[in-house]
Amino acid sequence: MSEWLVENYQVSISRACKCVLLARSIYYYIYSPREDRLLRMRINEIANTRIRFGFRRICTLLRREGFDDNHKRIYRIYKEEGLNLRRKRPRRNRSGAHRLERVENSGIHKVWSMDFLQDSLYNGSKFRILSVVDNFSKKCLGLFVGKSLKGGDVVGQLNQIKQEEMLVPTRIQCDNGSEFISKEVDRWAYENGVILDFSRPGKPTDNPYIESFNGKFRDECLSVNWFLSLEDAKEKIDAWKWDYNLFRPHSSLNNLSPQEFIILHNKPPEILL
């Protein structure tokens, strides 16, 4: 409208803008879209490599690499590329909120959690994985792969973690599986002064840390890999464990990896200041 007044009535630009109540800055504004090809390409590369990473973790990785684009711009490109993760979550029952009171998780290596998962090779042959996680730092302490794991295998894995970390926890949370209630595990716990904290039957929410970890592990490793043999499964699972502990950002740890969180947590207060 202002351009029409200038052309037809030969008035100044400022007078024409006053007549139509338009700021002169808007009159002179020229839209020039920013080049986002590099950002768009990098977002697609991360999403294709880490297919279970959502927008927030992709944004964290971009920040680490030096991209300073606004999160809203990154999210717009993320949606335009059709990368939105859709995961239907089950509706919680109200009675699930009433749980038994648990001991506070107050430090690294105070409480561990362990559980079993099952997967199969390319030919349908089943194998099992024992996962052990530190509840406070979220660090994966062990992913032990085997065809048939029993109480003695659990003890062997716990002894291996004990040698690597040079300590044992105060408490270990686990379910009532036959491997965890075996005499071998009970004896190991007694000799090392560890309390075995069993979940209530049918209540996986009593051990939320290992359930959350198992979900990430299945989404990001087991569901996206094709295992040709047990040795191949061990190599790929060990590689994922290394990436999870040293690189993968954790939203509950302020987007730090578990190892970064442990290093920061163990620094003396005067160094942090």
pLDDT 10s digits, 140-171:
999 999 988 889 999 999 999 999 999 999 99
pLDDT 10s digits, 43-94:
888 888 887 788 888 898 898 888 888 888 889 888 888 887 655 554 544 4
**Alpha carbons 254 and 271: distance in angstroms, whole number:** 19
- Out of 20-24, 130-134, 267-271, pick the least confident: 267-271
* Helix, strand, coil percentages, rounded to 5, for the chain: 50, 15, 40
pLDDT 10s digits, 197-221:
888 877 777 888 899 999 999 999 9
Task: Tell me which residue of 59, 66, 23 sits closest to 43, measured CA to CA.
Answer: 59
Q: What's residue 86's pLDDT?
A: 59
Sign (positive or negative) of CA dihedral 262, 102, 115, 172: positive
pLDDT-derived band of residue 190, with 50, 70 and 90 as boundaries?
very high
**Alpha carbons 165 and 161: distance in angstroms, whole number:** 6
SS3 at position 143: strand
Give CA 184 to chain center in angstroms: 33
Give the long-range contacts of residues 62-68, CB within 8 A, separation 24 or more: 67/39, 67/42
Read off the pTM: 0.73
**Alpha carbons 273 and 271: distance in angstroms, whole number:** 5
